Amino acid sequence: MTKYFRIPRITLILLLLITVSAVNAQQSLLQHIKSVKDGAEMVLIPEGEFISGMNQDEIKRLVIQLKKPMLDIYKKEFPKKNKSLRNYYIDHQEVTNEKYGRFVKETGHRPSKYSRWPQYNGKDQPVVGVGWADAEAYCKWAGKRLPTEDEWEKAARGTDGRMWPWGNTPDDGKYNGKKQGNYSPLNVGSFPTGNSPYGVSDMAGNIWEMTSDIWEGVGKAMRGGSFLNIITEVRVTVRWASSREEDGADYLGFRCVMDVENLKEFSRGK
C-alpha cells in the first residue's frame, strides 16, 4: 500500500512565505540604477543559468566558414557549459575619461598614461592606459568591483549561448574593430545595434575589458576584443591577457559591476 506523508501546516506556511519573499526580492530590484560616485548607469543582470564557453569544434567550423585564421588564444577558451550566477549590476558603458578624471581629482590617484594624448582623451572615449590596480582602485572608490569572467560573459551574451552580443550572425558594422579602420577607441555607445541582450554596450570591440580572474596562473584575463581585432576575435568567449597589465595599453580599459548588497549605499534608482 502506498503511504502518503502529510507536511505540517506550519511548514507549508513557512515554505510559502520564503517563496513569496524570494519572488518579491527579485521583483524589487530595479532594471536600471545610477552609481552615486561616478554617475554611471548600470544594468541588472538577473540571477539564473546561462551558457558559458564555446567548444573547439564550433570554433574551428566558424573560422573555416568565415575564412579567418585559427589563433592559439582560441584554445584557451572555456568549453561550453551551463553555469549559474546571482543577481548583479554591470556598467551600461565602459568607464570613460570623464568618469576616470572625476576619480583622479577626488582621490589624487595617478591619471591614465594617455591623459595628454588627444586621440585617446575625449571625455566620452573609454579610458585606456590604466592597469589592473588602477581599475580596481576606481571600482573600490565607486562601491563596485571588476567583473569575473563569468559575469562579463553573461552580461555580453545573455542566456542563449550566442557568439556575439548581437547574436550569431557575423556583422562588422556592429562594433568598433579592425575593419572599421578607426585605429583608436570611439566614444562609448557608438554602436547601439551591437548591444547585448541586456542592453549593455561595446562588449565586442572598442577596447579589451579587464576582469578579476587569473589568466594561465599569472596575470589577469581580459575580454571583448578591441579596435584592433577582427570579427572572430571579438566573440564573447574569447579570452586573452595583456603583457602591459601594470601600466595599461591603448587597447585596454574596463567597466565595473556592483553587488546587490551595495545598492543602498552606492546607488539610486534611475
Concatenate the DSSP letters of all residues of 142-198 into one string: TT-BPPPHHHHHHHHHTTTT-SBTTBSS--GGGSB-GGGT--SPPPTTS-GGG--TT
User: Structural domain tally of the chain?
Assistant: 1
Does 17 have pLDDT greater than 50? no
User: Is residue 67 a part of any domain in this protein?
Assistant: yes
Overall average pLDDT of the 135-163 stretch: 98
The residue segments making up the domain with residue 43 are: 33-269
Given the C-alpha cell 507536511, which residue does it identify?
Answer: 7
pLDDT given for residue 211 in this prediction: 98
Does 13 have pLDDT greater than 80? no
User: Is residue 256 a part of any domain in this protein?
Assistant: yes
pLDDT of 22-80, one tens digit each?
434 444 899 999 999 999 999 999 999 999 999 999 999 999 999 999 999 999 999 99
Overall average pLDDT of the 126-141 stretch: 98
User: Is residue 223 a part of any domain in this protein?
Assistant: yes
User: Is residue 130 a part of any domain in this protein?
Assistant: yes
pLDDT of 195-209, one tens digit each?
999 999 999 999 999
Does 19 have pLDDT greater than 50? no
Q: In the chain, what percentage of residues exceed pLDDT 90?
A: 86
pLDDT given for residue 217 in this prediction: 83
User: Is residue 16 a part of any domain in this protein?
Assistant: no
Does 93 have pLDDT greater than 80? yes
Q: At what angle do helices 132-141 and 97-107 cross, to 10 degrees?
A: 80
User: Is residue 10 a part of any domain in this protein?
Assistant: no
HSE-CB at 119 with a 13 A cutoff on CA atoms is 6
Closest CA relative to residue 80, chosen from 109, 52, 108, 116: 52
Mean pLDDT of the chain: 92
Question: Which CATH number fits the domain that encloses residue 203?
Answer: 3.90.1580.10
Which residues are CB-contacts of 47 (< 8 A; sequence separation ≥ 6)? 26, 84, 85, 86, 87
